Chains A and B, each alone.
Chain A
Amino acid sequence: GEDVEQSLFLSVREGDSSVINCTYTDSSSTYLYWYKQEPGAGLQLLTYIFSNMDMKQDQRLTVLLNKKDKHLSLRIADTQTGDSAIYFCAEGSNSGYALNFGKGTSLLVTP
Chain B
Amino acid sequence: KAGVTQTPRYLIKTRGQQVTLSCSPISGHRSVSWYQQTPGQGLQFLFEYFSETQRNKGNFPGRFSGRQFSNSRSEMNVSTLELGDSALYLCASNSAWGEQYFGPGTRLTVT
A residues with a Cβ closer than 8 A to B are: 30-31, 33, 35, 41-45, 48, 50, 88, 90, 92, 95-104
Contacts and interface: CB of A to CB of B under 8 A. Distances in A.
The 10 closest A-B pairs by CB, nearest first: A101-B43, A43-B102, A98-B56, A96-B56, A42-B102, A97-B94, A42-B104, A97-B33, A96-B55, A31-B98
A102 B33 CA distance: 17
7 contacts: A33-B100, A42-B104, A43-B92, A95-B56, A97-B48, A98-B56, A99-B33
A45 B101 contact: yes
A42 B98 contact: no
A65 to B, nearest CB: 14
B23 to A, nearest CB: 11
Interface of B: 4, 31, 33, 35, 42-45, 48, 50, 55-56, 58, 90, 92, 94, 98-105
Contact of B92 (A88, A97, A103): A97
B6 to A, nearest CB: 8
B90 A43 contact: yes
A98 B99 contact: no
Contacts of B56: 95-98
B32 to A, nearest CB: 8
Contacts of A88: 43
Nearest to B54: A96
Given A31-B98, A45-B101, A92-B100, A101 B48 contact: no
A50 B50 CA distance: 21
Given A96-B55, A98-B33, A98-B56, A45 B50 contact: no
B48 A98 contact: yes
